[in-house]
């Protein structure tokens, strides 16, 4: 509320927009590798739901329902499950980078042609290859950086939020950025980028290693399924805490602040988030969900950057556990980048 209640409410609304779109988006991404497993086993499953043909994405729906029930049970239980999932995910990602990186080094003379040309020439269509395609891709890749700020919604459960929140957000951002880059490098060297525009690009990359690596391919595919689950869990947790805070402040009906007597969690809004997310993930097309995400996120981030400048000028006396480096240049660049 550093810039007023109205601005704070606007930011929350924008956050709700991208969270409501991101929640279903991740489960639908998750059903790519899930469907790949079923199809390999000769089982056809409903994983390509779309509003036009009214197909239903059953795996995405069930994932959201199960995770919402887990969140109702409690933060401690959810954190334990999330820690196990993240440990498995990190192990699989590092194994993918090391083994696929070794494969790339061994066959680099052959695989380097997948990077030729490094930036494919523009086709003439807006945003298709060339530098226009690079900038268009950057706006899409931005989706990968959504969710880190959800750490801040756990401030009430943190022992020392002034110290823990900045370290958690910045630390996770740095680690994930490094992993994103390394995974992208090995994937685009092993397989030509034209073959990766599929729901399960990691599966395509590991399959390209050859039949002798079939066992490793199964581990990677299972890890991709498990790893995306943690993303859904964190985003749903963040949304429930936003609704809880809004309801407690009188910006939403008080029922959303109702805490379960046994589990001590906001169970009403948790179930509401889970049900809405489940149906959106089940029926909406993944491209529609992705396209509806970025606008609200960029606008919210721009307002946050503006709030940093505003708060420094209007309330310089407030104690700060973390100071933005390169102020005011960095917040100003953030506003310009989000607005562009």
**Mean pLDDT of the residues in the chain:** 79
Task: Find the mean pLDDT for residues 25-41.
Answer: 53
- ∠83-269-260 over CA atoms, to 5°? 75
Tokens of 245: 């805070």
Task: Find the mean pLDDT for residues 94-123.
Answer: 90
Task: Find the mean pLDDT for residues 4-11.
Answer: 65
Q: What is the pLDDT of residues 198-224, one digit of tens each?
A: 777 888 888 888 888 888 888 887 887
pLDDT of residue 293: 66
pLDDT of residue 27: 52
Q: In this structure, are residues 63 and 29 in contact, taking their beta carbons and an 8 Å threshold? A: no
pLDDT of residue 52: 43
Tell which residue, 276, 271, 337, has the closest CA to residue 304.
337
Give CA–CA dist 305/328, Å, rounded.
Answer: 10
pLDDT of residue 106: 92
For CA atoms 182, 187, 192, 195, give the dihedral sign: negative
Q: In this structure, are residues 132 and 143 in contact, taking their beta carbons and an 8 Å threshold? A: no
Give CA–CA dist 235/152, Å, rounded.
Answer: 11
Helix, strand and coil content of the chain, in percent to the nearest 5, comes to 75, 0, 25
Give CA–CA dist 70/78, Å, rounded.
Answer: 6
Q: In this structure, are residues 190 and 102 in contact, taking their beta carbons and an 8 Å threshold? A: no
Task: Find the mean pLDDT for residues 86-106.
Answer: 91
Instruction: Quickly count: other Cβ atoms within 10 Å of residue 28's Cβ.
Output: 27
- Sorting pLDDT into bands at 50, 70 and 90, what band is 157? low
- Sorting pLDDT into bands at 50, 70 and 90, what band is 115? very high
pLDDT of residue 207: 87
pLDDT of residue 248: 87
Residues contacting residue 240 through CB under 8 Å, at least 6 positions apart: 71, 265, 266, 269, 270, 273
Tell me the range of 132-146, 243-257, 258-272 where mean pLDDT is highest.
258-272
pLDDT of residue 77: 76
Give CA–CA dist 113/99, Å, rounded.
Answer: 20
Question: Could you tell me the residue ranges of all domains in the chain?
Answer: 5-302+313-339
Instruction: Quickly count: other Cβ atoms within 10 Å of residue 208's Cβ.
Output: 17
pLDDT of residue 289: 64
For the question of whether the overall pTM of this predicted structure is more than 0.85, the answer is no
pLDDT of residue 329: 93
Task: Find the mean pLDDT for residues 295-311.
Answer: 81
Reported as half-sphere exposure (CB side, CA atoms, 13 A), residue 250 has a value of: 2
């Amino acid at each position: 509320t550093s810039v007023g209640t109205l601005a704070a409410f606007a930011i929350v609304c924008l956050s709700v927009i991208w969270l409501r779109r991101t929640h279903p988006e991740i489960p639908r991404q998750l059903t790519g590798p899930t469907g790949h497993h079923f199809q390999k086993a000769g089982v056809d499953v409903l994983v390509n739901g779309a509003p036009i043909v009214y197909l239903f994405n059953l795996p995405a729906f069930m994932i959201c329902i199960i995770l919402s029930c887990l969140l109702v049970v409690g933060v401690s239980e959810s954190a334990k499950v999330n820690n196990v999932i993240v440990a498995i995910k990190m192990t699989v990602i590092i194994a993918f980078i090391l083994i696929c990186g070794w494969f790339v080094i061994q066959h680099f003379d052959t695989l380097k042609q997948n990077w030729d040309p490094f930036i494919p020439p523009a086709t003439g269509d807006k945003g298709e290859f060339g530098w226009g395609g690079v900038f268009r891709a950057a706006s899409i890749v931005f989706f990968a950086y959504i969710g880190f700020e959800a750490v801040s919604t756990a401030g009430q459960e943190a022992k020392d939020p002034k110290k823990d929140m900045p370290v958690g957000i910045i630390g996770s951002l740095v680690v994930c950025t490094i992993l994103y880059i390394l995974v992208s490098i090995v994937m685009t060297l092993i397989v030509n980028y034209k073959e990766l525009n599929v729901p399960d690009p990691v599966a395509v990359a590991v399959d390209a290693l050859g039949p002798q690596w079939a066992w490793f391919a199964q581990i990677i595919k299972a890890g991709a399924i498990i790893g995306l689950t943690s993303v859904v869990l964190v985003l749903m947790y963040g949304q429930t805490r936003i609704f809880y805070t809004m309801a407690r402040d009188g910006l939403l009906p008080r029922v959303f602040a109702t805490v379960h007597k046994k589990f001590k969690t906001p169970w009403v809004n948790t179930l509401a988030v889970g049900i809405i997310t489940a149906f959106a993930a089940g029926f909406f097309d993944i491209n529609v969900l992705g396209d509806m995400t970025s606008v609200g996120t960029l606008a919210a981030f721009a307002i946050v950057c503006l709030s940093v400048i505003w708060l420094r000028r209007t309330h310089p006396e407030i104690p700060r556990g973390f100071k933005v480096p390169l102020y005011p240049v960095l917040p100003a660049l953030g506003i310009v980048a989000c607005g562009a």
